[in-house]
């Protein structure tokens, strides 16, 4: 395993454990609502990162969208089977996706602020898309996970997973 993968795997495992503990409300020393550590961002500040990403989509500029991602980010996109692991691949994905004039809308969001420099936002969102050939509008519901890190004073996406919401069964 390379160092980046081990670091992300450890951080993701820690985040999952923290989310489970918070959800179940168990464990001594678990942060409660209103217990904010100095320098730790609020859930509202983390939620605003999605709005900034969505605004970047609205520019129609794939480079501006890619600027929201860390250089070593991983993107598992909704509309492509290919894992994107560098800026060129992430930019390429958005060059194609932006042709559909996407506008994201959160349906449900669960935010876990892990510390002053990392947070996870996971939930459901809806994309409003326009077919570039026909002009037909389409709404696509999907699950998402954004893992954010503050690097050099700037919040960046280090891991973004999005997948079409399966039909209830």
Model confidence over 31-85: pLDDT tens digits? 455 556 678 999 999 999 999 999 999 999 999 999 999 999 999 999 899 999 9
DSSP 130-165: E-TTT--EEEEEEEEEEEEEEETTEEEEEEEEEEEP
How far does Cα 140 stand from its chain's mean position?
17
Query: What is the average pLDDT across 132-155?
Result: 96
pTM of the complete model: 0.78
Are the CB atoms for 138 and 156 separated by under 8 Å? no
| CB proximity list for 110: less than 8 A, separation 6 or greater | 19, 121, 122, 123
**Which residue's structure tokens are 């954004």?**
146
CA-based nearest residue to 82, from 67, 96, 98, 70:
96
Are the CB atoms for 26 and 101 separated by under 8 Å? no
pLDDT above 70 (res 7): no
pLDDT above 80 (res 143): yes
Categorize the per-residue pLDDT at 100 as very low, low, confident or very high, splitting at 50, 70 and 90: very high
Domain annotation for the chain: domains and CATH numbers: 42-164 (3.10.450.50)
């Amino acid at each position: 395993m390379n160092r980046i993968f081990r670091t992300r795997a450890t951080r993701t495992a820690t985040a999952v454990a923290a989310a489970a503990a918070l959800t179940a409300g168990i464990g001594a020393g678990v942060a409660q609502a209103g217990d904010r550590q100095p320098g730790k961002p609020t859930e509202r500040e983390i939620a605003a990162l999605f709005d900034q990403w969505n605004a970047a989509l609205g520019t129609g500029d794939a480079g501006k969208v890619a600027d929201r991602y860390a250089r070593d980010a991983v993107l598992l996109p909704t509309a492509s089977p290919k894992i994107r692991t560098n800026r060129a691949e992430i930019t390429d994905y958005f060059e194609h996706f932006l042709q559909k004039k996407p506008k994201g809308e959160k349906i449900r969001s669960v935010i876990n602020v892990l510390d002053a420099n990392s947070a996870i936002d996971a939930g459901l969102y809806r994309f409003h898309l326009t077919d570039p050939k026909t002009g037909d509008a389409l709404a696509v519901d999907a699950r998402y996970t954004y893992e954010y890190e503050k690097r050099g004073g700037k919040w960046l996406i280090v891991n973004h997973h999005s997948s079409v919401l399966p039909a209830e069964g």
